[in-house]
């Protein structure tokens, strides 16, 4: 039984955002606005990842909307299997990314790439979905205050 009164100790990782792959970002933005009155950022083109993105802001969660820029985008591949769109990955932030990367490498965790700098200037990497029951997980450095 879970006792909610007891303060649980927790991991060094905290949720940063959830990414929603969509076939049309303008439609997705208008749906989030209509259904939830959500605040949404401007659309950004990220050439390096072959996607365009926009961030939907909720009080305690950001949703990253991603639309592929071309057929070669990894998101295009995802949309071939999920044509209406779907939840693509979630992102956990950590204070010391290189430390987390080193620890997981040591544990032989299957990491998809070396840490690389994201469009927002923070370092990140992805963990292979086979490591945690099929979920693609992005690990990102905490936003500097």
138 binds Co ion (CB under 5 A): yes
In 2-144 the beta strands, taken as DSSP E runs, fall at 14-21, 39-40, 44-46, 51-58, 61-68, 86-94, 116-117, 123-127, 137-141
Beta carbon nearer to Co ion, 21 or 91: 91
Q: Are 21 and 88 in contact (CB under 8 A)?
A: yes
H-type alpha helices, the chain: 25-36, 74-81, 97-106
Instruction: List, in sequence order, the alpha helices (H) in 23-93.
Output: 25-36, 74-81
19 binds Co ion (CB under 5 A): yes
Stretch near Co ion under the rule CB under 5 A, chosen from 11-19, 50-58, 92-100, 102-110: 11-19
Distance CA 3, CA 77 (A): 43
Which positions from 36 through 65 interact with Co ion, judged by CB under 5 A?
64
Q: Which is nearer to Co ion, 19 or 94 (CB)?
A: 19
Q: Which is nearer to Co ion, 55 or 109 (CB)?
A: 55
Measured from the CB atom, the residue of 64 and 67 that comes closer to Co ion is 64
Angle at Cα 85 formed by Cα 35 and Cα 135, nearest 5°? 110
Q: Is residue 91 near Co ion by the rule CB under 5 A?
A: yes
Closest to Co ion by CB, 23 vs 118, is 118
Measured CA to CA in angstroms, residue 41 lies from 29, 56, 135 at distances of 9, 7, 26
Q: Is residue 16 a contact point for Co ion (CB under 5 A)? A: no
Tell me the closest approach of the beta carbon of residue 55 to Co ion, in angstroms. 10
Q: Is 21 in the site for Co ion (CB under 5 A)?
A: no
Q: List residues binding Co ion (CB under 5 A).
A: 19, 64, 91, 138
């Amino acid at each position: 039984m879970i006792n909610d009164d007891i303060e649980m100790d927790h991991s060094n990782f905290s949720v940063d955002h959830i990414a929603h792959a969509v076939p049309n970002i303008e439609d997705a933005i208008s749906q989030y606005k209509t259904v939830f009155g959500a605040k949404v950022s401007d659309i950004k083109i990220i050439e390096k990842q072959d996607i365009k993105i926009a961030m939907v802001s909720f009080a305690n969660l950001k949703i990253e909307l991603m639309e592929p820029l071309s057929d070669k985008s990894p998101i295009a591949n995802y949309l071939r299997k999920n044509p209406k769109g779907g939840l693509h990955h979630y992102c956990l932030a950590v204070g010391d990314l290189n430390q987390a990367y080193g620890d997981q490498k040591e544990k032989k965790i299957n990491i998809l790439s070396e840490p690389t700098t994201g469009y927002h200037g923070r370092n990140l990497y992805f963990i292979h979905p086979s490591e945690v029951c099929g979920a693609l997980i992005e690990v990102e450095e905490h936003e500097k205050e």
